[in-house]
Amino acid sequence: MGSSYEAAKCASPSCLLVERRSATDAANTPYCLTLPVYLITEPSIEHDSHLQRVSGYCGLLAQPLGVDRNIIRTASRLHDVGMAAIPYSLTGKPGPLNLAERRALEGHAKLGHALLKGSGVELLDTAAEIALTHHERFDGAGYPHGLSGAEIPLSGRMTAVADAFDALTTDRVYRAAGSVQMAVETLQAERERHFDPRVVDAFVEVIDDAVEIRERFPPAPEEQAASTPEDVQLTLQAAAAMLSIPPSRLRRWADEGRIASVRTVGGHRRFSRAAVRRLAAENIVRPAIRPVEPPTEPLPLLAENLRIHGGQFTAAAAAPLYRAASPGWFASGPAGEVLQHWTAELAAGCDAGRYDGALAATAALMQQAHRHAATPLERLAFLERVGQICVRTLMRTGAEREELAGTRRLFASLQRTLVDASA
């Protein structure tokens, strides 16, 4: 009188079918139980590209953490299956959630678990485990059960890091996407608090592969927020740093109504950058963002690759920024000579181990791009992509760890300079 289950994918890559074959079915006809949340038809349900990215990030963590790659990749796609029961008026709300709304939204973890548990199929049992625990925190301050440390299943700890990285690097209704560098710094800052340090460390080790996954599955147009620089929302830690105060004091000021804040769907505070600046001016505080200094040592292998392949690097970085019908300035002919001069200055700085000229050349390049109507996001994305291409090239040519770290630091300092200039 037993039944067998078989997991398969339907025509849509976002739809997981679980086929239940009943041994007592007179016609011996199989039927499918379809989890309707993954028939992506409602705005409250996660988009397919988000699921592809989270699934891919979890797959990268499988080997270093000793987990079955196929199981974790497929099961993690169902992490927010309970969101099917949450209305878009909550998940898409740009303003703060009240207590009742937050409780309703947090209920998606138990709802997802209830949908998936009890099948006896390893894939679905793992998915149920993830759905229930991916919002737990390593320090015990998460939901729904306040589990901590090893009480949280490893699959839930892995998905928490993957989901957080994707949230930090894609647009949300309450803020624009952050850079990969900022996302990594946030994950590392939350080691032993929000996240399992072992999972964070494993993820940082495969960050270049994660970036490739992010580029392979970019957000769909409907996922991208139409945000402007005035809409930028800061994390509690970033806003506190700008005000030169501890995060606990800023949290108290928000509770007292001294500065407005909004809550993300995960319950985290976000602060308007404009409001933070106004408060800083009232308190005669100069907003201070931790500087990222360029490396102090030469980067000879990077210098050689920039001299030989600089034109290919910049072309490869510019191409994905634009639609084919409307290429922007970085992909235009007039930009070619300017970009050639820029890569030559970078190479010279890498040879000498002195990067003042590279910083100045980058500033000049970005001024040119600004004059040709390149947006701040466009300029920042170009720098980030060139840095990613350089790092991947060095990895393929067997560069030492020190040179890879120096290359990342160089491009982080170039991006930081651009952000400071745009602030």
**Same domain for 118 and 92:** yes
Question: With 70 as the cut, is the pLDDT of residue 231 above it?
Answer: no
**Same domain for 317 and 168:** no
In this structure, of 87-91, 100-104, 213-217, the range with the lowest mean pLDDT score is: 87-91
pLDDT digits (tens, 9 = 90+) for 346-375: 999 999 999 999 999 998 898 888 888 888
**Same domain for 98 and 63:** yes
Tell me which DSSP letter residue 267 carries: S
Query: What's the pLDDT score for residue 375?
Result: 80
Q: pLDDT confidence of 215, banded at 50, 70, 90?
A: confident
**Same domain for 374 and 255:** no
Please say whether the beta carbons of 44 and 265 come within 8 A: no
Please say whether the beta carbons of 177 and 165 come within 8 A: no
Residue 293 lies in a domain: no
Question: With 70 as the cut, is the pLDDT of residue 30 above it?
Answer: no
State the alpha helices, DSSP H only, in 245-355. 247-255, 273-282, 300-318, 335-352
Q: pLDDT confidence of 378, banded at 50, 70, 90?
A: confident
Query: What's the pLDDT score for residue 408?
Result: 92
Which residues are CB-contacts of 131 (< 8 A; sequence separation ≥ 6)?
Answer: 78, 79, 80, 81, 82, 109, 112, 113, 115, 116
Quote the mean pLDDT of the chain.
79
**Same domain for 70 and 166:** yes
Question: With 80 as the cut, is the pLDDT of residue 18 above it?
Answer: no
**Same domain for 407 and 341:** yes
Which among 352, 360, 336 has a CA at the least distance from the CA of 417? Answer: 360
**Same domain for 208 and 160:** yes
Domain count for the chain: 4
Residue 289 lies in a domain: no
Q: pLDDT confidence of 415, banded at 50, 70, 90?
A: confident
Residue keyed to tokens 């340090």? 197
- Count of C-beta atoms within a 10 Å radius of residue 252: 12
Q: pLDDT confidence of 94, banded at 50, 70, 90?
A: low
**Same domain for 200 and 62:** yes
pLDDT digits (tens, 9 = 90+) for 251-295: 888 887 788 887 765 667 888 877 887 777 666 444 444 567 889
Q: Which of 33-37, 172-176, 368-372 has the highest mean pLDDT?
A: 368-372
**This prediction's pTM:** 0.50
Query: What's the pLDDT score for residue 175?
Result: 58
**Same domain for 209 and 119:** yes
Q: CA 323, 336, 385, 237 torsion: positive or negative?
A: negative
CATH number at residue 265: 1.10.1660.10
Query: What's the pLDDT score for residue 65?
Result: 95
Query: What's the pLDDT score for residue 218?
Result: 82
Higher-scoring residue by pLDDT: 232, 36 = 232
Query: What's the pLDDT score for residue 419?
Result: 64
Which among 150, 93, 181 has a CA at the least distance from the CA of 408? Answer: 181
In this structure, of 16-20, 179-183, 261-265, the range with the lowest mean pLDDT score is: 16-20
Which residues are CB-contacts of 78 (< 8 A; sequence separation ≥ 6)?
Answer: 16, 35, 38, 112, 116, 127, 130, 131
> In this structure, what is the dihedral angle of CA atoms 55, 136, 211, 223, given to the nearest 10 degrees?
70
Residue 317's identity, in one-letter code, is A
Residue 248's identity, in one-letter code, is S
Query: What's the pLDDT score for residue 331?
Result: 87
**Same domain for 262 and 123:** no
Please say whether the beta carbons of 61 and 39 come within 8 A: no
Question: With 90 as the cut, is the pLDDT of residue 307 above it?
Answer: yes
pLDDT digits (tens, 9 = 90+) for 45-71: 445 688 889 999 999 999 999 999 999
Give Dmax over CA atoms of the chain in angstroms: 80
Element (H, E) at 269: strand 269-272
Instruction: Give me the half-sphere count of Cα atoms (radius 13 Å) on the Cβ side of residue 52.
Output: 16
